[in-house]
């Protein structure tokens, strides 16, 4: 009799606990956010974390009747840790979506987990073309380096740059940048006079800058990952290359909005190709930059941040379409073909490749209100990843 009363009391307590959430227990959808929050690429993690928080603050933490819970973990830019965290999040924490992935090796390490568990993997930062092909559950909201490098290469050849020397970081997105810059630049009539790959760990750009200067190109084309731009700029200026008459052209990863002001006036005139500038003159972006800075006074949103912000939008829109259902196949189907306005401009998820389709802007570093910005002056619309488009 006593045991029965106890059981009854426990059940009643359970019902009451559920009752406090408005009559029904509100189900939670956990999103596992894996990012480099420490180390040389911590800026990518911090930008994306800030953007994810901003998205939730603006759109609420409930979607299609489900409460959204972010589980953030630092992979410290070590691929084995990314993979272990992804496994633990799926198996132990029951996350229904994996997101983040600050660099290519980290995104690739998690791909087998998303493929086997059939859990959507939203790549918010990494940019090597092949990433989306490593798991049918990957959707990318960042960019591909071939998107940026091809636009830079063909613009350069058509705008008075006859000879170029490329300097890229020696890992997959750097190799993509080198190949696709060269391809579009030479097809449009340009000539490569040299190529150099700089080691990723503790990079020293000085000897490579010297080699480039000795080859006397009209321009140096550069890809360095977000987080290395400040050191590149410092060594470029130290060697006096800003006064050499050689032009500096790059993907937007170099004059990253978060650090551009630190480059000083030596950066004025640098031309780059990228999907995002904090100076993009749309109402949506003006509001985004203002809200981001209000929540994070020491930061300016960069191109990594919009990958995080738009990645959250893809997750929210997919959950709306599935009425809160978290089946991986259903979420993927809902994500394919999504099209919406991002702070960077119009974007969509290519249903065939699950990769992002977006405008790539040509920009020039100029001073505005006493600060340095990448000011857009031309647009190539709705660019698909050229690498996948080049293969059957």
Our finding on whether 374 is near ligand PHB (CB under 6 A) is no
Binds ligand PHB by CB under 6 A, chosen from 47, 77, 82, 104: 104
Cα within 13 Å of Cα(311), Cβ side:
36
Q: Pick the closer one to ligand PHB by CB: 108 or 156.
A: 108
* Minimum separation from the CB atom of position 369 to ligand PHB (A): 26
* Minimum separation from the CB atom of position 326 to ligand PHB (A): 28
CA gap 339, 351 in Å, rounded = 10
Q: Which stretch binds ligand PHB (CB under 6 A): 89-97, 123-131, 207-215, 365-373?
A: 123-131
3-state secondary structure of 223: strand
Q: Which stretch binds ligand PHB (CB under 6 A): 112-120, 126-134, 269-277, 365-373?
A: 126-134
Q: Pick the closer one to ligand PHB by CB: 97 or 131.
A: 131
Our finding on whether 255 is near ligand PHB (CB under 6 A) is no
* Minimum separation from the CB atom of position 128 to ligand PHB (A): 5
Torsion-angle region of residue 227: left (phi > 0), alpha (psi -120 to 50) or beta? left
Nearest C-alpha neighbor of 31 from the set 61, 65, 69? 69
* Minimum separation from the CB atom of position 225 to ligand PHB (A): 3
Our finding on whether 100 is near ligand PHB (CB under 6 A) is no
Binds ligand PHB by CB under 6 A, chosen from 47, 114, 128, 147: 128
Nearest C-alpha neighbor of 311 from the set 128, 126, 176? 126
Q: Which stretch binds ligand PHB (CB under 6 A): 122-130, 239-247, 342-350, 364-372?
A: 122-130
Which residues does 124 contact at the CB level (< 8 Å), separation at least 6?
48, 99, 100, 101, 141, 142, 304, 307, 308, 310, 311
Binds ligand PHB by CB under 6 A, chosen from 36, 100, 173, 275: 173
The 3-state secondary structure of 239-302, one letter per residue: CCHHHCCCEEEEECCCCCCCCHHHHCHHHCCCEEEECCCCCCCCHHHHHHHHHHHHHCCCCCCC
Nearest C-alpha neighbor of 387 from the set 130, 172, 169, 191? 130
Binds ligand PHB by CB under 6 A, chosen from 37, 90, 113, 126: 126
- How many CB atoms are closer than 10 A to CB 51? 27
Q: Name the residues that contact ligand PHB, by CB under 6 A.
A: 103-104, 126-128, 173, 225-226, 253
């Amino acid at each position: 009799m006593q045991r029965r009363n106890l059981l009854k009391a426990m059940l009643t307590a359970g019902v009451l606990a559920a009752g406090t959430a408005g009559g029904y227990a509100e189900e939670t959808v956990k999103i596992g956010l894996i990012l480099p929050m420490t180390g040389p690429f911590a800026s990518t993690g911090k930008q994306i974390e800030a953007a994810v928080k901003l998205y939730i603050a603006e759109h609420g933490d409930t979607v299609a009747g489900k409460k959204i819970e972010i589980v953030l973990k630092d992979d410290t830019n070590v691929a084995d840790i990314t993979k272990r965290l992804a496994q633990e999040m799926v198996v132990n924490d029951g996350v229904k979506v994996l997101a983040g992935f600050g660099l290519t090796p980290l995104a690739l390490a998690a791909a087998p987990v998303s493929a086997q568990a059939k859990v959507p993997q939203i790549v918010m930062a990494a940019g090597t073309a092949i990433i989306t092909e490593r798991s049918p559950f990957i959707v990318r909201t960042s960019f591909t380096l071939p998107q940026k490098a091809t636009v830079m290469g063909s613009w350069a050849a058509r705008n008075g740059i006859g000879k170029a020397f490329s300097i890229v970081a020696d890992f997959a997105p750097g190799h993509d940048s080198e190949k696709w810059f060269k391809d579009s630049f030479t097809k449009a009539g340009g000539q490569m006079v040299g190529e150099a790959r700089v080691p990723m760990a503790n990079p020293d750009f000085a000897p490579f800058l010297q080699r480039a200067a000795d080859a006397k190109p009209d321009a140096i084309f550069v890809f360095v990952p977000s987080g290395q731009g400040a050191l590149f700029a410092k060594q470029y200026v130290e060697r006096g290359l800003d006064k050499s008459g050689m032009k500096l052209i790059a993907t937007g990863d170099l004059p990253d909005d978060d650090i551009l002001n630190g480059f000083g006036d030596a950066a004025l005139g640098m031309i780059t190709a990228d999907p995002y500038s904090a100076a993009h003159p749309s109402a949506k972006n003006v509001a985004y930059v203002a809200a981001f800075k209000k929540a994070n006074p020491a930061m300016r949103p960069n191109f990594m941040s919009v990958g995080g912000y738009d990645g959250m939008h893809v997750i929210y829109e997919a959950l709306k379409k599935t009425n809160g259902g978290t089946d991986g196949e259903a979420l993927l189907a809902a994500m394919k073909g999504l099209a919406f306005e991002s702070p960077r401009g119009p974007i969509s998820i290519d249903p065939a490749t699950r990769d992002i389709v977006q405008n790539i802007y040509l920009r020039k570093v100029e001073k505005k209100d006493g600060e340095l910005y990448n000011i857009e002056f031309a647009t190539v619309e709705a660019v698909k990843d050229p690498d996948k488009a080049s293969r059957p």
